[in-house]
Structure 1
Amino acid sequence: MDTEKSDEFYRKLKIQLEETSSWPTNYLYKFIVPTDGERIVQIHKIFDNTGAVIESKQSKKGKYTSLSITVHLKNPDAVIEKYKEVGKVKGVISL
């Protein structure tokens, strides 16, 4: 599959979010990033001024960093918008 998420994926995600959550709500993102200060800073900037709580943890060997980001969002479109922004950062895996 293409590393870029398809429109179909986001369409299904939006429906799922609408059905399983009442909005606005806190949403938890989880990402795996190669441990590279620049990439981690890029993700932090995407969530700047959103009130997000960002927790990071390096893998045992330090090669990767997991980021757990909890942020209060107004609707499923806002969730998808952030996924698309983070998706532009090279090497990021969304969980």
Structure 2
Amino acid sequence: MRDTYKNLRYRLMETEEWPLEYMFKFITPNNGGKVEQIKAILPDHGKISFKHTSNLKHVAITCVAVMEDADQIIEVTEKVGRIEEVIIL
């Protein structure tokens, strides 16, 4: 695990009730198939919504899904974080 996600892991480990409903949020340029790449990584059972900027250059992607443990959340976040120009919120 990269140091980038240590704080997230720490906060998640403080949670005592698993599974829990978690909200993933990302912002990505609306080009190069990045939206499709992110969708492919997100949990199949999650509810995904999109909000485009007024000029359609960027897309905010939100996914709410029930996750079994912190490792699942970190795994998804790390994979999405490898896509260039994606901002993790």
TM-score, scaled to structure 1: 0.83
1:41 alignment partner AA? E
Displacement of 1:35? 0.9
Equivalent pairs counted in the alignment come to: 89
Tell me the SS of whatever aligns to 2:33: helix
What is aligned with 1:26?
21
1:27 alignment partner AA? Y
Which of the residues 69, 79, 83 maps onto 1:75? 69
2:70 is the counterpart of 1:85 = no
Structure 1, unpaired ranges of 5+:
1-5
For the aligned residue pairs, the C-alpha RMSD in angstroms reads 1.7
Displacement of 1:92? 0.4
1:18 alignment partner AA? M
Identity of aligned residues (%): 30
What is aligned with 2:57?
63
Which of the residues 44, 47, 58 maps onto 1:53? 47
